[in-house]
Structure 1
Amino acid sequence: MTGSATILPDDLVSVAWLRDHLLEPALQVLDIRGYVNTEALGGGRQRATYTGALNEFQAAHIPGSVFIDWTRDIVDPESDVPAQIAGPQRFAAMLGLSGVDAGTDVVVVDHAGGHFATRLWWALRYYGHDRIAVLDGGFARWRDAGYPTEAGDSTTLPRTFVPVVRPELARDADDVLALIRGGGQIVDARDRETYDGAVQRGSRGGHIPGALNLPAKDLIGDDGSWKSPETIRETAQASGIDLEIPVTAYCNGGVTATAVLFGLHRAGARDFSNYDGSWNEWGEREDLPAEGNRDLWRQG
């Protein structure tokens, strides 16, 4: 399935659009519902565990969709840092088994059209596939609209996905250190309490020095819809972000950061990258600098 023009109108599609195009032969829906489960340890400290929502998919999903377990299917099992994106061969094998090749239009679904969907949006772009859109409102909106669902496991025709790595879309710790020294633009996608260090996940709290704070949750409205590009642009500018220069985002695990990148992309940013290791890596390495409210740290 190659050579045909995309049918996707945008990188964000509505449930009504998906309903009307669900039977298009070039379309494949990927369901990446999952959870970050946090446990309070006292003193502002947290522990997180990552899970996919396979049982929920098996109970009800959009007809024809294929489940992707974000904690297993598209991660590097050899990495010491949790949930790092899989290498090209592993990623390509999983996407091929999920019915994706160069001519496939992919619509990604999570619970509410948030950061798990954008994680796969970023990963597919990183591996050279631009024919991808996020379902606004996710599976919750599809269900609430009364559209049909089916139960059971995934079934689809396997295809051959050929990855073309775009290294400029990913950054590692050394790259981020160079950005700090060179005055590059770094954005922290976590909430303000975590950015400041009042909430701490891992061995230490705080943020990467010089990072601006733009919580991903500020880009999505109360009804679960993505805010307009114009509103996101205003929010980003109010946070000190310049959309005309390169931006690298991070969070705790390289997932929520992709929601900020998706929003900034929709607002006009064209040069962006994800620090995939994020605080899961940075916060555990004492050789890497951190900033934060040390009075809050001492309270813990």
Structure 2
Amino acid sequence: MTTHAQLISATALHGLLGDPDLRIVDATVHLTFDENGAHAESGADTFAAGHIPGAIFVDQIAELSNPAGEAPFEAVDSSAFADVIGAHGIGDGSRVVVYDTANGIWATRLWWQFRLEGHDVEVLDGGLAAWQAAGFVTTTEPTLLEPAAFTASRRAGAIVSTEDVEAATSDPSVLLVNALDPDSFAQGHIPGSVNVPFGSLVKPDGTLKDLTELREIFGAAGALDADVTPIAYCGGGIAATAVTFALASLGRDDAAVYDGSMNAWTADPNRQLETP
């Protein structure tokens, strides 16, 4: 059985409905790929078509990504994050549960952004699909919340820059973990990286794998070695958060995210890529 202090089942969440301190957040973003690359679209429409009762929607593209950042989806600064989250009615005393309707990585992305700003929140195991599979209803009714005071304070070590990663490529005390699929990894990755595809961390129904299985996966990659600090990355800093979330279930709260990921790394053609 998977035990994770920041993972909550659909049944447990259903039992919390009506709690005045509970804030349920739909974090869905729809990501598609074609010959022109990746395209991100807000999940606002799917939220409006049906969501968990009492949930609100936070648009991670429009509200929590820095348009002037090093790469797309770069996290906004602490002040901007606090303003957005507080405006949505989430305060310092709120119990926050995040979910998505896709493959879980957008829920872990928002989990990571909260964690980055000093707040631990929970992720709905299996997302909206698990909620519906349990027989629980959805609604189209909006949730109206008063703005709240939210305090954001950056957690040291949770995020790293391109300069940090450049240094890490020659530092044996750091393990770079690529969260993309094996084919993408084989096409080119940051030198010295190991591959732990985010899809390998969940069961077919989208729920997190058991701790024994996760321990085997990360142990084989060397990410549980006490002598190294993991840094997770992917294409744009989204799937990487699924790795840090799973590592947290194994007690590795020190894993960082390279927010710019391959988008930032490949922006400079002089930076090397490694292939098998």
Superposition TM-score tier, normalisation by shorter sequence: over 0.9
Task: State the SS of the aligned residue for 2:93.
Answer: coil
In the aligned structure 2, how far is the partner of 1:270 from the partner of 1:153? 35
- One-letter code of the match for 1:258? T
Output the TM-score relative to the length of structure 1.
Answer: 0.86
| Superposed CA offset, 1:16-43 (max 9, x none) | 000000111111001011121101x3xx
Matched, 1:178 2:167: yes
What SS class does the counterpart of residue 167 from structure 2 fall into? helix
Q: Shift of residue 145 of structure 1?
A: 2.3
Q: What is the rounded CA distance, in whole Å, between the counterparts of 1:259 and 1:246 in structure 2?
A: 16
Cα displacement (A) at 1:142: 1.1
Following TM superposition, where does structure 1 have runs of at least 4 consecutive aligned residues deviating by more than 3 angstroms?
none
Q: Does the CA-based 8 Å contact 1:113-1:139 persist in structure 2? A: no
C-alpha separation between the residues in 2 aligned to 1:124 and 1:79?
A: 18
Residue in structure 1 matching 2:217, options 235, 239, 250: 235
Output the TM-score relative to the length of structure 2. Answer: 0.94
CA contact (8 A) 2:30 2:102 kept: no
What is the aligned counterpart of 1:119 among 109, 120, 139? 109
Paired position in structure 2 for 1:213: 195
Give the SS at the match of 1:168. Answer: coil
Which of these two proteins has the greater Rg computed from alpha carbons?
A: 1
1:286 is aligned to: 269
* CA–CA separation in structure 2 for the residues paired with 1:110 and 1:70: 11
- 1:260-300 Cα deviation digits (max 9, x unpaired): 1100110221211000000011122113221115xxxxxxx
The CA deviation at 1:81 is 1.2
Letter aligned with residue 20 of structure 2: P
Contact kept in structure 2, 1:243 and 1:264, CA below 8 Å: no
Matches within 5 A, 1:238-253: 238-244=220-226, 245-253=228-236
Residue in 2 aligned with 1:101? 91
Residues 137-193 of structure 1: per-residue CA shift (max 9 Å, x gap)? 101121232212221444212101110111310000000111112222110000110
Q: What secondary structure does 2:231 align onto?
A: strand
- Aligned counterpart for 1:261 among listed residues 238, 241, 244: 244
Are the equivalent residues in 1 in contact too, given 2:5–2:249 (CA < 8 A)? no
Question: 1:136 and 1:75 mapped to 2: Cα distance?
Answer: 24
The two structures, once aligned, show a CA RMSD in angstroms of: 1.5
Indicate which of 58, 68, 83 corresponds to 2:58.
Answer: 68
1:181–1:120: structure 2 CA closer, same or farther, 3 Å change rule?
same
What is the correspondence of 1:77-92 to structure 2 with a 5 Å cutoff?
77-92=67-82
Distance 1:121 1:80 in 2: 21
Aligned equivalents of 1:127, 1:110: Cα separation in 2: 20
**Count of residue pairs the alignment pairs up:** 271
Q: Is 1:54 the counterpart of 2:36 in the alignment?
A: no
Query: What is the deviation of 1:239?
Result: 2.3
